[in-house]
Amino acid sequence: MPHDKITAATRKRMAQTGESYAAARREIIRERQAVEGRMSGSDTQWFAISFSKSVSGRITTLMDTSAGRSGPGKSGVAVGPDEIRVRMGGAKFDIPRLLVQSAGRSQEKLRGTTGVHFPRKGRLLVNGSADGLVEITIDPPFYTGRILSTLFFKERVNSLLVSLVDPDGFIAAVEDHGHK
């Protein structure tokens, strides 16, 4: 669901229920996650990437939505029984569940950076904001594909940092499948 449709659905829900914007938006996104889960299989849960209203967040959103491939409503992480699929812009990563050692809240301070940032010392950053950060530890590491953003080199990833609208729900979904 594109960002403008999420906003419209949120405002409609606010008018119907009297909820605050944040509460209404959270429920709209949860409903969307439930629909995505049904579309992708009953064992798959969808978690939207959070996007910031800051200047860098708006620039990332503008660039991704103008290309028609990403932005709010299209970027997220799907947690399935066999893999975790990360999608944002042209970046697509599929991480086998067996490699996931842990998932937990991150206290990382990002200083306004948003987008997909390829591994620095094995750490991949995928975010639209500095809020709702979750770090996923991966062992043994996986390798990115040969894509333009990595100058066609395969990059080693042993940690993924991602910003999510519902970080606690994501952590629970990862732990729920029995893979810590």
Quick check: is 137 in a domain?
yes
Query: Has this prediction a pTM greater than 0.85?
Result: no
Quick check: is 26 in a domain?
no
Quick check: is 14 in a domain?
no
Question: Contact 153/172 with Cβ under 8 angstroms?
Answer: no
CATH of the domain at 57: 2.30.29
**Residue 102: which domain range?**
42-176
Count of domains for the chain: 1
Quick check: is 24 in a domain?
no
- Structure confidence by residue, pLDDT tens digits, 20-71: 888 888 888 777 765 555 445 557 888 998 887 766 556 655 665 555 555 6
pLDDT of residue 40: 52
Quick check: is 156 in a domain?
yes
Residues of the chain with pLDDT under 70: 1-3, 33-42, 54-73, 119, 147-151, 177-180
The dihedral through the CA atoms of 34, 40, 46, 52 has a sign that is negative
Burial of 148: CB neighbours in 10 Å, binned 0-12, 13-18, 19+: exposed
